[in-house]
């Protein structure tokens, strides 16, 4: 019986081989950039706040830092550079909106020394994020993690607000600052520190609300506040339309970074300083400055 001879397949051409090489090279270059260059390349973003929406003293400068994520993928040196860049913007007031660590808190004294530079310049307020409580050990571990981060922030002279409100003198006027507990860790209780709106009208002072997860906006809407500062999304970390929204860990995908007005209130989401897994692509780490226009 005659054995059918195997038909030789088409031979790869030199052009196809070079094409594959180019695609592979571009992929490797993108991966190297996303892992080793962009996560370290801080961006300073300034936005103007409408004084009709946030009636604070004109010219007030608010530094907004979030998601520092000090841990295996985010060195303290990056956080220190973000602090230096932030202070160079001459802030009157500083807001830190959670996720100070990834994993176990370490080098507490050195970390506190870096953050203390902020409070040495301007009143500094902080709320906590989900990473400031999450730990595999369960409820006991969560309490320990939260306590450790709160201790770190107090050592850094930051005022930690967990469903609490303060009044602060800034730039010749006064404003209210509140901070909510984190949504995912079940500590988000706006009723404990905010006044219900119950019809039209406004509080006498501009009111800034620190709230790690922007999804908690809905629960906060029935209460008085003018400007909400959030983090949590990291801008999606991979800034490709569609992918960024998919990756951002929020239910409301319509707003994952920047300033937006929603139902007459201002909401600002910063991309944050650190990252998870040390990867960012077209979504640079951010130092945000908000200026009352």
Cα dihedral value 255, 256, 258, 260, nearest 10 = 20
How far apart are the C-alpha atoms of 232 and 236, rounded to whole Å?
9
Q: Which stretch binds Fe ion (CB under 5 A): 63-71, 89-97, 146-154, 193-201?
A: 63-71
CA distances from 178 to 136, 207, 291 (A): 29, 8, 19
User: Interface residues for Fe ion in 106-125 (CB under 5 A)?
Assistant: none
Q: Which stretch binds Fe ion (CB under 5 A): 8-16, 67-75, 154-162, 164-172?
A: 67-75
CA geometry: angle 237, 243, 244, nearest 5 deg: 35
Shortest Cβ distance from residue 67 to Fe ion (Å)?
A: 4
Q: CB nearest Fe ion: which residue?
A: 99
Shortest Cβ distance from residue 234 to Fe ion (Å)?
A: 6
Q: Which stretch binds Fe ion (CB under 5 A): 45-53, 99-107, 185-193, 263-271?
A: 99-107
Q: State yes or no: residue 215 binds Fe ion (CB under 5 A).
A: no
Shortest Cβ distance from residue 99 to Fe ion (Å)?
A: 4
* Sign of the torsion angle spanned by Cα atoms 115, 213, 276, 150: positive
Nearer to Fe ion, 265 or 271 (CB): 271
User: What tokens were used for 23?
Assistant: 């695609």
Q: State yes or no: residue 99 binds Fe ion (CB under 5 A).
A: yes
Q: Which stretch binds Fe ion (CB under 5 A): 16-24, 82-90, 97-105, 280-288?
A: 97-105
Collect all residues with Cβ–Cβ distance below 8 Å to 99 and sequence separation of at least 6.
66, 67, 68, 69, 129, 130, 131, 132, 212, 231, 232, 272, 274
How many CB atoms within 10 Å of residue 41? 11
- Binding Fe ion by CB under 5 A: which of 38, 67, 132, 182? 67
Nearer to Fe ion, 194 or 247 (CB): 247
Contact in structure between 63 and 82 (CB atoms under 8 Å): no
- The residue ranges that bind Fe ion (CB under 5 A) are 67, 99
């Amino acid at each position: 019986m005659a054995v059918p001879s195997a038909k030789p397949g088409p031979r790869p051409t030199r052009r196809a081989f070079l094409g594959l090489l180019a695609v592979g090279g571009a992929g490797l270059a993108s991966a190297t950039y996303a892992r080793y260059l962009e996560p370290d390349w801080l961006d300073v973003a300034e936005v103007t706040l409408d004084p009709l929406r946030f009636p604070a003293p004109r010219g007030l400068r608010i530094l907004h830092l979030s998601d520092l994520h000090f841990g295996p993928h985010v060195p303290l040196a990056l956080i220190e550079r973000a602090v230096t860049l932030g202070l160079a913007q001459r802030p009157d007031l500083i807001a830190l909106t959670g996720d100070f660590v990834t994993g176990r808190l370490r080098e507490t004294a050195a970390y506190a020394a870096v953050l203390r530079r902020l409070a040495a310049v301007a009143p500094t307020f902080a709320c906590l994020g989900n990473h400031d409580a999450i730990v595999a050990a369960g409820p006991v571990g969560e309490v320990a993690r939260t306590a450790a981060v709160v201790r770190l922030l107090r050592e850094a002279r930051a005022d930690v607000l967990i469903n609490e409100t303060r009044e602060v003198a800034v730039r010749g006027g006064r404003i209210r600052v509140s901070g909510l507990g984190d949504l995912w860790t079940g500590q988000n209780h706006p009723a404990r520190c905010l006044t219900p709106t119950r019809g039209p009208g406004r509080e006498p002072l501009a009111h800034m609300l620190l709230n790690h997860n922007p999804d908690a906006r809905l629960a906060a809407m029935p209460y008085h506040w003018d400007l909400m500062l959030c983090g949590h999304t990291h801008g999606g970390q991979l800034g490709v339309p569609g992918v960024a929204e998919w990756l951002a860990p929020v239910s409301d995908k319509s707003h994952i970074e920047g300033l937006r007005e929603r139902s007459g209130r201002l909401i600002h989401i910063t991309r944050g300083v650190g990252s998870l897994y040390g990867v960012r692509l077209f979504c640079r780490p951010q130092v945000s400055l908000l200026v009352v226009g």
